[in-house]
């Protein structure tokens, strides 16, 4: 989606900004792909966030959440902190508090961004509805949300029952997995090489997922780290409470 946006922005002589929330426990190939996206010609500001955000830990009943980039756990970090990121030491967001939920942060950032530029904001999100029924419901039913000019694939941001001049829009919501890879091929787009390794390791294009590894669904793909990036796998094992994780592995 970012690369397609860059093509359109270049044609229109426009610039746009990107928000990337780095969840620390990521594949090296994912970070390499993020770095090459930073070089796209029409990106003005790339907000690379490496803040201590709370995430679900479904592999342990003793530690139901873990906090990425937590200073107290620096000795356990899966990766070194990126050099050009926004972190707890240079954080420009007065509203941020350690341990915020991912969903809470994105809403607060959108409000901050809108106030910074004091104009209507369109926030592109690259989700696809064939991956989740909840995603389909978010987009398909207009009576449950406010939209931009009655476009179903837009949703006005709301927090605490108050609407803001920010609209999430989902330009590839109706794309299939075949559409994604067709675009990569026909438009010669860059892609995360970890998908190629996943495919070689037996996952179909419909099964491939990238997210923080300890979520309710994501934990089912933990073994992929062992097969695809063994050096990352050992660090992922030690990052969170392991009581249930070892049981899962065995």
- Looking at the 3D structure of the chain, how many domains does it have? 1
Q: What is the pLDDT of residue 243?
A: 43
Q: Which own/partner pairs from 243-248 qualify as long-range (CB within 8 Å, at least 24 positions apart)? A: 243/60, 243/61, 243/62, 244/59, 244/60, 244/61, 244/62, 245/59, 245/60, 248/59, 248/219, 248/222
H or E segment and range at residue 104: helix 102-117
- Pairing, β 16-21 against β 53-56: unpaired
Domain with 75, as residue range(s), is: 2-249
Which of 8-12, 71-75, 128-132 comes out lowest in average pLDDT?
Answer: 128-132
Give tens-digit pLDDT for 48-70. 999 999 999 888 888 889 999 99
Tens digit of each residue's pLDDT (9 = 90 or more) over 145-187: 889 998 888 999 988 778 889 999 999 999 999 999 999 999 9
Judged against a pLDDT cut of 70, whether residue 215 lies above it is answered with: yes
Residue 219 is part of a domain; what is its CATH number? 3.40.50
β-bridge mates for residue 47, sequence order = 19
State the DSSP code for 82. P
- The span from the CA of 249 to the CA of 222, in Å, is 9
């Amino acid at each position: 989606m970012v690369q397609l946006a860059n093509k359109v922005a270049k044609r229109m002589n426009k610039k746009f900004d990107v928000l990337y929330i780095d969840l620390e426990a990521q594949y090296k190939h994912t970070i390499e792909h993020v770095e090459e996206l930073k070089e796209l010609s029409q990106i003005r500001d790339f907000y690379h966030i490496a803040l201590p955000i709370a995430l679900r830990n479904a592999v342990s009943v003793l530690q139901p959440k873990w906090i990425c980039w937590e200073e107290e756990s620096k000795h356990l970090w899966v990766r070194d902190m990126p050099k050009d990121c926004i972190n707890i030491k240079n954080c420009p967001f007065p509203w941020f508090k350690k341990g915020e939920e991912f969903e809470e942060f994105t809403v607060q950032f959108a409000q901050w961004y809108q106030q910074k530029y004091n104009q209507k904001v369109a926030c592109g999100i690259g989700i696809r509805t064939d991956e989740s029924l909840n995603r389909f419901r978010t987009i398909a039913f207009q009576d449950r949300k406010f939209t931009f000019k009655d476009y179903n694939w837009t949703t006005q941001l709301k927090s605490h029952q108050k609407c803001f001049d920010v609209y999430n829009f989902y330009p590839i919501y109706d794309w299939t997995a075949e559409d994604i890879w067709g675009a990569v091929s026909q438009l010669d787009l860059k892609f995360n090489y970890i998908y190629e390794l996943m495919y070689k390791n037996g996952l179909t294009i419909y099964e491939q997922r990238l997210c923080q590894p300890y979520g309710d669904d994501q934990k089912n793909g933990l073994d992929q780290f062992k097969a695809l990036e063994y050096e990352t796998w050992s660090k992922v094992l030690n990052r969170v409470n392991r009581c249930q994780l070892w049981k899962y592995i065995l």
